[in-house]
A and B are shown apart, each in its own frame.
Chain A
């Protein structure tokens, strides 16, 4: 187990290094005059040169690369082009707020999706199964911001059930707070329902076809006993894996949702940075989300290893 974990951690670090390298290539190697970007199209060339000098964008690329990697190791992501403040505190705060929204969405979607997946898996190829699969495919293929607009029109404007702007008042109690965040969370929950339900369904079908379930049935366990003792634990392995992966995607889709509902999180921060061409903010955002994704998949792998000892033997070699 320790060896498995060590190997897994080393691989994550290599992936992180490659990720930072890809981001470096995008931000520093692709043609882009940083000084001109900051100073604007009408600034005199001297100003542009001075900014490039100060930021070191004229230095040889290997030197810039080493500097970037050194900064990464010390968690120094540089200063914003916009207000010259370090970008990390702003990003950490925004990731926290987006994480709250994402957790809300997952809490809404995971129980329903798992139940739907188990239900569909047990009724494979019957009409209920087909309906759940079709709903899953349909909903998970629609972009989050599109689902968000549907919710605003139907739930917010026509029915007037929930607030359409995700800005809870200061000192709001927990109920008010959750109701203000309900629509953006729901928009994401709807999109992720399909992925999770389909994985649970696939896991259930695989387990139900296995020999040990036949044994369990033949030795006289009732269906609910079999489901509880044997099916759930094994069928949820792919589900846990897909939830881990989804947490990374969640932060991609969250940008559109935050824009529609004007939620003050990572998406809004990144959009603002994009409008102001604040490249350090954007690169740091990509790397931080990459780290979040890696931690999420690592956690998922740990849970899977705990649920299914075979998994750690297989990947431990």
Chain B
């Protein structure tokens, strides 16, 4: 889009160009906020973010140590009922937002930063480096993510740091592949050739010329990965190797309570499950809106 604008003069990005970029960014934002899907996604995600930050201070009961009667159905006392130990489900759902909204973005950021670096290098240098890394990327993509994460977390033992590392690394190859293909179409453009003719170094061209122009796909990839990170971490917690007790994490709670659904005590499972669903759907609505914007 604004690729041609950066070709012209040899001078570094001047003030006028920068304000043009700021203007473009404002216009993009205005377009985004006109999309209902994006708005809904932002509102839901913001709500969970507020819950994650405020947590106990807005929860009606203590989510950990306030034991009422067990499995009280939803009612005026306990809007979402109580769980198998008599704790308030609503309070636990509110505080349960915290861990996943901390761990998932970290994993997504790790995957996107590492993947973008690899993708930029592969796409710009091509040749042997590209072929070699591409084969490894291909191998990683044929790994079943949940299963490999399960294996790794069993070997290393589960902790927040290990979950972030494992999920981040498993996301790296797919990000690398996306960024690589974005770089491939950029590097044929005149502004890259011009930079090469000026004698700029590879590092300069990658970081200062190509990177700003593939930022769009990278931002999209970040939101998409954020959604998948919530998906993956919730699944891992449900399988018992993700976020660990005593966290009121949603996936973990579903794992603790799902066997009680059959006897009609559905509320301690359903509400955290709805929380996971609303969270991933919100992120995916945002990602979808961003994608449709950069795709055109």
Contact B139 A15 (CB under 8 A): yes
Q: With a CB–CB cut-off of 8 A, which chain A residues contact B283? A: 141
Give the interface segment out of A25-33, A50-58, A230-238: A25-33
- Per DSSP, are chain B's interface residues mostly helix, strand or loop, or mixed? helix
Q: Does A285 reach chain B (CB closer than 8 Å)?
A: yes
Q: Evaluate contact between A149 and B273: CB separation under 8 angstroms.
A: yes
Are B261 and A142 closer than 8 Å at their CB atoms? no
B239 touching A143 by the CB < 8 A rule? no
A157 at the interface (CB under 8 A from B): yes
* Inter-chain contact B154/A252, CB cutoff 8 Å: no
**Are A249 and B144 interface neighbours, CB within 8 A?**
yes
8 Å CB contacts to B: which residues of A248-306?
A: 248-249, 251-253, 255-256, 259-260, 270-271, 274-275, 277, 279, 282-283, 285-286, 289-290, 293-294, 297
Residue of B nearest to A245 (CB): B141
Question: In this assembly, does A1 line the interface, its C-beta being within 8 Å of a C-beta of chain B?
Answer: no
Task: Tell whether B281 is near chain A: CB-to-CB under 8 Å.
Answer: yes
Name A248's contact: one of B144, B153, B266, B270 (CB within 8 Å).
B144
Q: Is the CB of A294 within 8 A of B142?
A: yes
Chain A's closest residue to B257 (CB) is A149
Residues of A contacting B269 in the complex (Cβ-Cβ under 8 angstroms): 149, 153
Contacts of A19 in B (CB 8 A): 139, 142-143
Q: Is the CB of A256 within 8 A of B262?
A: no
Q: Which residues of B contact A293 (CB under 8 A)?
A: 142, 144
Known: A134-B37, A259-B238. A152 touches B151 (CB 8 A): no
Near B by CB (< 8 A), chain A positions 122-142 give: 134, 137-138, 141-142
Taking a contact as CB atoms under 8 Å apart, the answer to whether A252 and B144 are in contact is yes
Taken together as a complex, chains A and B put the C-alpha atoms of A297 and B284 apart, in Å, by: 26
Q: In the complex, which of the residues A143, A165, A255, A282 has the most CB atoms of chain B within 10 Å of its own CB atom?
A: A143
Partner of A282, one of B154, B262, B273: B154
Q: Count of chain B residues with Cβ under 8 Å from any Cβ of A?
A: 46
Most buried by B among A145, A275, A283: A145
Given A141-B227, A145-B238, A149-B270, also A290-B143 (CB < 8 A): yes
Q: Please tell me if B147 contacts chain A, counting CB pairs below 8 Å.
A: yes
The interface residues of chain A lying within 8 Å CB-to-CB of B273 are 146, 149-150
B contact residues around A270 at 8 Å (CB) = 147, 150
Taking A19-B139, A283-B151, A285-B147 as contacts, is the C-beta distance between A137 and B285 under 8 angstroms?
yes
Interface centre among B148, B152, B241, B281 (most CB of A within 10 A): B148
Alpha-carbon distance between A271 and B276 when the two chains are bound, in angstroms: 22
User: Which B residues, 139 to 168, have Cβ-Cβ distances below 8 Å to chain A?
Assistant: 139-140, 142-148, 150-156
Interface residue? B74 (CB, 8 A): no
Residue of A nearest to B266 (CB): A153
Indicate if B231 sits at the interface (CB-CB under 8 A).
yes
Judge if B280 is at the interface, Cβ distance under 8 Å.
Answer: yes
Interface bits A81-103 vs B (CB < 8 Å: 1, else 0): 00000000000000000000000
Please report the C-alpha to C-alpha distance between residue A283 and residue B152 in the assembled complex, in whole angstroms: 10
- Find residues 196-234 in chain B having any chain A CB closer than 8 Å to their own CB: 227, 231, 234
Q: List the A side residues contacting B255 at CB < 8 Å.
A: 259
Q: How many residues of chain A have a CB within 8 Å of chain B?
A: 55
A-side contacts of B281, CB under 8 Å: 137-138, 141-142
Q: For the complex, what is the distance from the CA of A145 to the CA of B234, rounded to whole Å? A: 9
Q: Return chain B residues, CB-CB under 8 Å to A279.
A: 151, 154-155
Q: Smallest Cβ distance from B55 to chain A, in angstroms?
A: 22
* Chain B residues, CB < 8 A from A31: 156
The chain A residue with its CB closest to the CB of B270 is: A153
CA distance A3 to B222 in the complex (A): 39
**Nearest chain B CB to A42's CB is how many angstroms away?**
17
- What are the residues of chain A within 8 A of B139 when measuring CB–CB? 15-16, 18-19, 21-22
- Asked if A48 is at the interface of the complex by the 8 Å CB criterion, the answer is no
Whether the pair B276, A142 counts as a contact (CB closer than 8 A) is yes
Contact B135–A157 (Cβ < 8 Å): no
Distance A259 CA – B238 CA, assembled complex (angstroms): 9
Question: Cα distance A252–B235 when bound, in Å?
Answer: 10
Interface-central residue, B153, B227, B262, by most chain A CB under 10 Å: B262
**Nearest Cβ distance between residue A16 and chain B, in whole angstroms?**
8
Closest B residue to A164 by CB, please name it.
B262
Residues of A within 8 A of B152 (CB): 26, 30
Query: Which residue of chain B is the closest to A282 with respect to CB atoms?
Result: B151
A251 lies within 8 A of B144 (CB) = yes
A23 lies within 8 A of chain B by Cβ: yes
Assess whether B13 is interfacial by the CB under 8 Å rule: no
Q: A19-B139, A26-B152, A283-B151 are in contact. List 5 more A-B contacts (CB 8 A).
A: A11-B138, A142-B281, A274-B240, A293-B142, A294-B142
Binding site for B on A (CB under 8 A): 11, 14-16, 18-19, 21-23, 26-27, 30-32, 134, 137-138, 141-146, 149-150, 152-153, 156-157, 164-165, 248-249, 251-253, 255-256, 259-260, 270-271, 274-275, 277, 279, 282-283, 285-286, 289-290, 293-294, 297
Residue contacts A-B, CB under 8 angstroms, 5 given:
A15-B139, A21-B139, A134-B37, A146-B254, A293-B144
Q: Top 8 closest A-B pairs, CB basis?
A: A18-B139, A141-B284, A252-B146, A282-B151, A252-B144, A153-B266, A149-B273, A19-B139
